[in-house]
Amino acid sequence: GAGVSQSPSNKVTEKGKDVELRCDPISGHTALYWYRQSLGQGLEFLIYFQGNSAPDKSGLPSDRFSAERTGGSVSTLTIQRTQQEDSAVYLCASSPGRQGNQPQHFGDGTRLSIL
């Protein structure tokens, strides 16, 4: 069956440019999460969506980061005025409902490189 799909799989851009990362969750999953994984680091939580609303966006590192979800499905993570420290793998996950007792299903991520 279809899993979580992320695009692009790789993105190289120049410092100062804006980037958009896309996540297609598993159909019917109401919860969607964005994480960031830097080299040698663990997964860092960014934002959680339940439906189209984001009850927890406490992990977004700065106001250059924003995310939205439309139709209770596709989500886009936008990074404005990218900096070199934004280079990382951005992972999206979805689950049937509120996490805790639900496993999360991950995509394979977008590898973002800022030159």
Partner 1 sequence: SQKIEQNSEALNIQEGKTATLTCNYTNYSPAYLQWYRQDPGRGPVFLLLIRENEKEKRKERLKVTFDTTLKQSLFHITASQPADSATYLCALDNQAGTALIFGKGTTLSVSS
- Which stretches of the chain bind partner 1, using CB under 8 A? 4, 33, 35, 40-43, 45, 48, 55-56, 59, 91, 93, 98-101, 103-109
CB of 31 to partner 1, least distance (A): 9
- Measure the CA–CA gap between 34 and 38, rounded to whole angstroms: 13
76 bridge partner residues: 22, 68
Return the number of the residue (16 or 27) whose C-beta is nearest partner 1: 27
Element (H, E) at 112: strand 110-114
CB of 95 to partner 1, least distance (A): 9
Contact 14, 113 (CB under 8 A): no
Return the number of the residue (84 or 101) whose C-beta is nearest partner 1: 101
Return the number of the residue (50 or 80) whose C-beta is nearest partner 1: 50
Non-local (6+) Cβ contacts of 43 within 8 A are 35, 36, 37, 91
Token pair listed for 58:
């406490």
Return the number of the residue (14 or 33) whose C-beta is nearest partner 1: 33
